[in-house]
A and B are shown apart, each in its own frame.
Chain A
């Protein structure tokens, strides 16, 4: 039984141990986001939603597996659920907002292999969170992911106008930026302690 408070769990997932900048989850979309803040925020929203749904499903699956004494099937079950959720979200977005669907493009199906989503399921199981704690954790992870993505997109947007040596442009630049951001976020350590 985990005794962390809900507020702390949220703060932890969002800032102190930010999924992207501390735990290195969700790097692929993070590096690929091309400096359009809008797309970044929408991507973040989609990811948060998938995280919440997967978190609930993972919680249920874990307890069923414990009851069946078949914990070795956990990884496969988690990934199956995540893949299905992403499919559903994709169909949903396509139906209700074709413009958003187009804007997200290839990134939408890529959410399946977004380590952050599986990371939420795995960590909440590892830390033995209750149902409510898991939900708050998933929400915090999604919000933290969106924050990191939003900041990076904003920075890239600004840097497009700056005089960056061509050698550095692209992945190298993004990584350096990420390094500085990660360093900055370390300042949140000890928060709420």
Chain B
């Protein structure tokens, strides 16, 4: 590795040198800035297309029968507005429509602390039946071979094919908050069979959904009419 520049020279001793240094630094900074912004603009369309494709795939995985996806932004007042293209928004939800243009379900993101680090999930919600219809682990750093089974174990994932998340009359929360139970003891539609050896990760998924349900499902229900009309 190189030595640091000599700092024994004081700026006053070499005013000409200072000017040269500053010019050089500013020059490099300017050229760099230009190069980066050019490459950014040039690659933007391709990256946007990639992102849209990835989103489609993720939503298809959590809502069965989806053909097209429309992104909605949740406004401050709790209303839904269809988002164009790749625009950013604080809170989003993804409506999936089937071949006939009917609303098949809504995909929502949620995250929370798992065993090792934050787990990010995408889950599909069928507002008519008031069921969770699928989950997809978007990002997790759980222990490979143990905690990371939450994303791969087919029996665990099967828990989420028809999970009861009916809302109370006043829409303040779920009638039955989700329960994570020991593997094999699931008897009710709002229970989740945990994975043996990955209890904490399994419970984390339950916690994440329980936190997300009372917050986001009421918004979906309130705006059901907007959602049903495919934009």
Does A133 interact with chain B (Cβ within 8 Å)? no
| Option from B33, B115, B118, B143 in Cβ contact (under 8 Å) with A76 | B33
Does B7 interact with chain A (Cβ within 8 Å)? yes
Check if A190 sits within 8 Å of B4, measured CB to CB. Answer: no
**How far apart sit A90 and B36, CA to CA, in the bound complex (Å)?**
30
* Stretch of A49-57, A105-113, A150-158, A176-184 at the chain-chain interface: A105-113
| Option from B4, B33, B116, B118 in Cβ contact (under 8 Å) with A90 | B4
Expressed in whole angstroms, the minimum distance between the Cβ of B9 and any Cβ of chain A is: 12
Check if A73 sits within 8 Å of B33, measured CB to CB. Answer: yes
Check if B116 sits within 8 Å of A16, measured CB to CB. Answer: yes
Number of chain A interface residues as a range: 20 to 34
List residues of chain A with CB within 8 A of the CB of B33: 73, 76
Does B113 interact with chain A (Cβ within 8 Å)? yes
Check if B36 sits within 8 Å of A189, measured CB to CB. Answer: no
| Option from A87, A91, A108, A193 in Cβ contact (under 8 Å) with B200 | A193
**How far apart sit A72 and B39, CA to CA, in the bound complex (Å)?**
10
**How far apart sit A17 and B118, CA to CA, in the bound complex (Å)?**
12
Contact with A along B32-45 (1 / 0, CB 8 A): 11001100100000
Does B170 interact with chain A (Cβ within 8 Å)? no
Contact with A along B7-45 (1 / 0, CB 8 A): 100000000000000000000010011001100100000
Does B46 interact with chain A (Cβ within 8 Å)? no
**How far apart sit A91 and B40, CA to CA, in the bound complex (Å)?**
37
Query: Known: A16-B116, A76-B33, A193-B200. Contact between A106 and B40, CB under 8 A?
Result: no
Check if B7 sits within 8 Å of A190, measured CB to CB. Answer: no
List residues of chain A with CB within 8 A of the CB of B113: 4, 8, 193
Number of chain B interface residues as a range: 10 to 19
**How far apart sit A106 and B2, CA to CA, in the bound complex (Å)?**
9
Check if B3 sits within 8 Å of A109, measured CB to CB. Answer: yes
Check if A189 sits within 8 Å of B116, measured CB to CB. Answer: yes
Does A63 interact with chain B (Cβ within 8 Å)? no
Chain A stretch 49-86: residues in CB contact (< 8 A) with chain B: 70, 72-73, 76, 80
**How far apart sit A87 and B33, CA to CA, in the bound complex (Å)?**
23
| Option from B4, B36, B117 in Cβ contact (under 8 Å) with A108 | B4
| Option from A76, A94, A110 in Cβ contact (under 8 Å) with B1 | A110
Q: A residues bordering B, Cβ < 8 Å? A: 4, 8, 16-17, 70, 72-73, 76, 80, 87, 90-91, 94, 106, 108-110, 113, 127, 189-190, 193
The contact sample of 6 A-B pairs, CB cut-off 8 A, is A73-B37, A76-B29, A80-B29, A91-B7, A110-B1, A193-B200
